[in-house]
A and B are shown apart, each in its own frame.
Chain A
């Protein structure tokens, strides 16, 4: 399966703390994408990291990719209550298909 698996399934932190979520996958990929979903709404693209990249930053987000271990991590620094959402990784072969991971439900407590 191309689907990612995320860990932890749920994470609860205090505002201002950092949040780290991990994604593992099984097949070769062209890129890996991270998306956020607020409760019951559409997904929002956060960041894309290509298979030849090891680390990427976007604002308070830092993504790493280790293709030898078939794993990725998403770090959110200085978390805010508005970061409360579900986060999905999506390994992609680049062929118009995204297979979303199981997701991490992040709760940031004010």
Chain B
């Protein structure tokens, strides 16, 4: 199984809503990532979890709250988002949580988020 799955595929939420994005992989990977991608822009790294611990937070606003319940799952909790947070949210995983120089990342299909 070389797949990273993400749910939901699409999400529309109001600025007062609380929602969560989910990501799952069963490749035994020890690092997992959240990226944000605006239209016609490259993905921007948000968070990195290494061995289920948050290792990188790229100065992301607190209205985005990541969680790694176990080595296969990664959540992104959303609260009080702004319309400018509308984007494609991508999850990825890689084998080595220690950041091996030959580590490649496997991406899920993304969640298309619209904030009204």
Contact (Cβ within 8 A) B109 A94: no
| In the complex, chain A residues whose CB is within 8 Å of the CB of B97 | 96
Number of interface residues of B (CB under 8 A): 31
Contact (Cβ within 8 A) B109 A92: no
Please report which residues of chain A, range 70-110, place their CB below 8 angstroms from some CB of chain B when the two chains form the complex: 88, 92, 94-103
Contact (Cβ within 8 A) A95 B99: yes
Contact (Cβ within 8 A) A101 B42: yes
**B59 beta carbon closer than 8 Å to chain A:** no
Number of interface residues of A (CB under 8 A): 25
- CB closest chain-B residue, reference A102: B42
**A31 beta carbon closer than 8 Å to chain B:** yes
| In the complex, chain B residues whose CB is within 8 Å of the CB of A44 | 107
CB distance from A49 to the nearest CB of B (A): 10
**CB < 8 Å neighbour of B109 from A42, A97, A103:** A42
Report which A residues bind B (CB closer than 8 A): 3, 30-31, 33, 35, 40-45, 48, 50, 88, 92, 94-103
